Each structure stands twice: as structure tokens, then as C-alpha cells.
Amino acid sequence: MAPKTLLNQRECAVTISRLCHQINEVHVPWDRTVLVGLQPRGAKLLRALVAQLEAEFATGPVANGLLDITFHRDDFRRREEPLTASPTEMNVLIEGKRVIIIDDVLYTGRSVRAALDALGDFGRPERVELCVLIDRRFSRELPIQPDYSGRRVDALNHERVRLNWNGPTLESVLLESPDYAPER
């Protein structure tokens, strides 16, 4: 089965813009909000959102950070190979702030649960919300739902959602079957 394009480049740009508008409606003024991207895949989406929010809505920099959840995951000791952590770059205070966790795909909910645990190491936020580009609705193992989602997808458990980035630009979002092997 060939990969199915869920979002092309134009649709990706519109989706990111829509997410920015939705977030801005709730979070003006920006001095009490912190965006936190989950490493590694939420980092690019975080950068794209911050760039657009700063260009269109914020009067100054949007507070943001990158959070690694590797050692907060419930499966990190169950793997044969050692996991490699990504850097955590939390140079912002979240105590008493409104935090938006940013990730690319919401699947089982376990990464978000780990992110909630990891956030506790940096303080107690007033509120925590979740923003994802793709919500795989029927795959949840934990009762976690996004506050902001770009697109809801009904995918089978064996299928994979892949985001294709070209630098800071999201080129496409594909749904792939493991039986598919791209030609090289």
C-alpha cells in the first residue's frame, strides 16, 4: 500500500495557522503562557508555532521550552537497547503559568502522561493544555485528549503517521502501512 497523504504543504500551513489562531484566542496576553515542545518530534512543531505566534499575535517573545520525557516513560526499562535522551531546554518558569504541551502525534497518550510527570520537576503550572498536529483518536490507552488538534485521523494500530519537515516548513503528513517500503 502506498502512503496516503493526510495533509499536503498548503494544508499543513493552514492547519498550523488555525492552531495559532485557536491558541491565541485563549492565551492573550502572552505573559502568563509557556509552550513546551516534547523532544524530539514536538520540537519542530513548537518552533513553527512560536514563529507564527510571534509574527502575528505576540508583542514580544513567546515563552517556550523543550522537554525530554525519556526517563519518565513507563516503558524505558523494558527495551533491549539503551534509550538516548534529547536535551531538555527549559529556561522558563512554569510555576503558576498556563502551559501548553506541544507534540506532533497523539497516539496512546503515554508520552503526554510522561510529559505531565516531567513537568512536575519544573514547578506547578496553573493549567496544562495539549496541542497536537495529528490526533489518532481511536488508539488511546490513557484518558488523554487534546485541547487543540490540527487533524483527527482514524488509523489502524499497525499504521504510522509520518511528518515530513523541510527545515522549519512542514511539507506533508503521511499515513504509512508497515508493508510499504519506499523506493530509494
> Which pLDDT value is given to residue 2?
81
Q: What is the DSSP letter of 74?
A: T
Return mean pLDDT, the chain.
90
Distance between CA atoms of 141 and 157, rounded to whole angstroms? 12
- pLDDT tens digits, residue range 137-175? 888 999 999 999 999 998 888 888 999 999 889 999 999
Burial class (CB in 10 A: 0-12, 13-18, 19+), 77: exposed
In this structure, CATH architecture of domain 4-74+87-176:
3-Layer(aba) Sandwich (3.40)
The residue ranges of every structural domain in the chain are 4-74+87-176
Strands (E) in the chain, as ranges, are 4-7, 33-38, 64-67, 98-106, 127-136, 148-153, 160-166, 169-176
**Quick one: average pLDDT of 86-95?**
93
Question: What pLDDT, in 10s, does the model give residues 114-147?
Answer: 999 999 999 999 999 999 999 998 889 999 999 9
The pLDDT score that the predictor gives to residue 75 is: 65
Q: CB under 8 Å to 8, separation ≥6 — which residues? A: 172
pLDDT tens digit sequence for 60-76: 899 999 999 988 877 65
